[in-house]
């Protein structure tokens, strides 16, 4: 791994812990972000010569804290000093409070920060977008892609969320047990979006984004410690484990995508699969099904199939049908169409896909699947148009390269 990549990977992995610690110190969102960015710039200057510190998150939090204190002192020369309690420092009182909080329900700054970002004063979409931006450092473009909206619209959501937090003086304190339960759904959704951002990375960028998958799984395990009897948290953790278990087989040596039915299943992480299956089985015994459990059950059917041809597509279609009832979404219907194509052929699948055009016009996978179905039906001109649209919407080189193989096949046909 070259110098820029290992530094970038280390900074991305350390961001959640470092930024959460800075926010706990200063209780000022913008100040914590600015301090973290300055700490990253100093890391870029010093780490190439000195190598990475033993604990990158602690180093960034320490440097960022000093930067923020300098900023506070400069501001103090121009404005009246804030009350002592408004600025959290490393005095005995703060240390005692932090130790009590960490030793009780949270034990982790990042998880605490997730629950704070998911404050009910904010609309749900703003909660998740803010948490993705602040906690995981995803770009506005990446978050917009996850929500299927434009960058401009997502920028407005994040800006409004920050302004609302500042105006309402939302406390940067961990919520109590009842509030935690109320916010759990939003926190779980945020964790899964972080995972998806790492999972959707491809080719030579996948290694740099893999820490996002690992961080999401770590957070899900922390959620399980807070909610050990909640089946949807078990389902979420199982889903991510079962999907991430395929990481070693998803790309070839050149970074090209390998579709699920062509992956070498010997490369799948069997201990991770076993952990995911055990969690799913435990969740199902509670007899309180939810969307994450259903998605985990779909992933489990793939994981349990010895070979691609052994996949139980009929059961997968039924599960996607269940998911459509629980959580209606054009993306869910698009995924069900894949199962329909396996069971009843491309024409039946295309009948499901075509009505989704307006809602998924800017979605890469819609045009890729539609093009593939049209190709199977021999509608070459329409397939080529669909593939060309998909290439224009591709977010990674691997996605574009995969579609080009279909175009090459059409040209040779």
Task: Give the domain ranges of the chain.
Answer: 1-90, 104-228
List the one residue out of 273, 332, 334, 329 whose CA is nearest residue 301: 273
Average pLDDT over every residue of 295-313: 97
List CB contacts of 295: < 8 A, sequence separation 6 or more.
Answer: 235, 239, 323
Planar angle of CA 108, 55, 39, nearest 5 degrees: 90
Q: Is the confidence at residue 12, as pLDDT, over 70?
A: yes
pTM for this model (two decimals)? 0.74
User: By mean pLDDT, which of 105-119, 136-150, 219-233, 381-395 is the weakest?
Assistant: 105-119
Q: Is the confidence at residue 299, as pLDDT, over 60?
A: yes
Question: Token digits for 140?
Answer: 């506005």
- How far apart (Å, rounded) are the C-alpha atoms in residues 284 and 280? 6
Q: What are phi and psi of 251, to 5 degrees?
A: -135, 150
* pLDDT at residue 412 in the model: 62
235 vs 127, higher pLDDT: 235
Q: Is the confidence at residue 384, as pLDDT, over 70?
A: yes
* pLDDT at residue 52 in the model: 79
Average pLDDT, the chain: 83
* pLDDT at residue 95 in the model: 41
Q: Is the confidence at residue 35, as pLDDT, over 80?
A: yes
* pLDDT at residue 87 in the model: 47
* pLDDT at residue 230 in the model: 94
* pLDDT at residue 173 in the model: 61
CA atoms within 13 Å, Cβ hemisphere of 263: 21
286 vs 398, higher pLDDT: 286
* pLDDT at residue 144 in the model: 82
- How far apart (Å, rounded) are the C-alpha atoms in residues 340 and 330? 15
User: By mean pLDDT, which of 1-10, 94-103, 368-377 is the weakest?
Assistant: 94-103
pLDDT-based confidence at residue 29 (cuts at 50, 70, 90): confident
Question: Token digits for 97?
Answer: 């409070």
CB 135 within 8 A of CB 19: yes
Highest-confidence segment of 99-113, 150-164, 177-191, 222-236: 222-236
User: By mean pLDDT, which of 28-42, 92-106, 278-292 is the weakest?
Assistant: 92-106
User: By mean pLDDT, which of 28-32, 43-47, 223-227, 308-312 is the weakest?
Assistant: 28-32
* pLDDT at residue 89 in the model: 47
* CATH class of the domain defined by 1-90: mainly alpha
pLDDT-based confidence at residue 102 (cuts at 50, 70, 90): very low
- How far apart (Å, rounded) are the C-alpha atoms in residues 300 and 238? 9
pLDDT tens readout for residues 163-195: 777 666 666 665 677 777 777 888 898 889 888
């Amino acid at each position: 791994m070259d110098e820029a990549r290992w530094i970038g990977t280390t900074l991305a992995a350390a961001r959640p812990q470092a930024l959460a610690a800075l926010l706990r110190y200063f209780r000022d969102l913008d100040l914590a972000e600015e301090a973290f960015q300055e700490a990253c710039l100093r890391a870029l200057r010093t780490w190439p010569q000195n190598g990475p510190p033993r604990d990158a998150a602690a180093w960034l939090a320490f440097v960022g804290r000093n930067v923020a204190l300098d900023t506070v002192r400069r501001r103090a020369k121009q404005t009246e000093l804030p009350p002592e309690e408004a600025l959290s420092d490393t005095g005995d009182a703060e240390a005692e409070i932090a130790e009590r909080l960490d030793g009780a329900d949270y034990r982790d700054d990042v998880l605490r920060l997730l629950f704070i970002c998911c404050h009910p004063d904010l609309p749900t979409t703003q909660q998740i977008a803010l948490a993705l931006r602040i906690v995981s450092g995803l770009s506005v473009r990446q978050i917009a892609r996850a929500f299927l909206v434009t960058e401009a619209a997502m920028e407005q959501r994040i800006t409004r969320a920050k302004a609302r937090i500042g105006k309402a003086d939302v406390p940067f304190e961990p919520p109590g047990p009842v509030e935690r339960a109320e916010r759990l759904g939003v926190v779980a959704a945020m964790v899964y979006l972080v995972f998806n951002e790492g999972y959707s990375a491809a080719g030579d960028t996948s290694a740099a984004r893999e820490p996002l998958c690992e961080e999401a799984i770590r957070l899900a395990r922390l959620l399980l410690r807070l909610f050990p009897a909640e089946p949807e948290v078990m389902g979420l953790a199982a889903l991510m484990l079962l999907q991430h278990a395929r990481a070693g087989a998803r790309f070839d040596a050149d970074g090209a995508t390998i579709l699920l039915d062509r992956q070498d299943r010997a490369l799948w992480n069997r201990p991770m699969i076993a952990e995911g299956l055990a969690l799913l089985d435990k969740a199902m015994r509670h007899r309180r099904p939810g969307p994450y459990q259903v998605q985990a059950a779909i992933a489990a059917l793939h994981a349990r199939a010895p070979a691609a041809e052994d996949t139980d597509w009929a059961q997968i279609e039924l599960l996607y049908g269940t998911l459509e009832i629980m959580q209606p979404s054009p993306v869910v219907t698009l995924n069900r169409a894949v199962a329909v194509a396996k069971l009843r052929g491309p024409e039946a699948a295309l009948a499901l896909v075509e009505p989704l055009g307006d809602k998924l016009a800017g979605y890469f996978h819609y045009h890729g699947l539609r093009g593939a179905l049209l190709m199977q039906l021999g509608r070459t001109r329409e397939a080529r148009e669909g593939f060309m649209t998909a290439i224009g919407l591709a977010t990674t080189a691997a996605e574009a390269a995969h579609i080009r193989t279909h175009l090459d096949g059409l040209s040779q046909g």
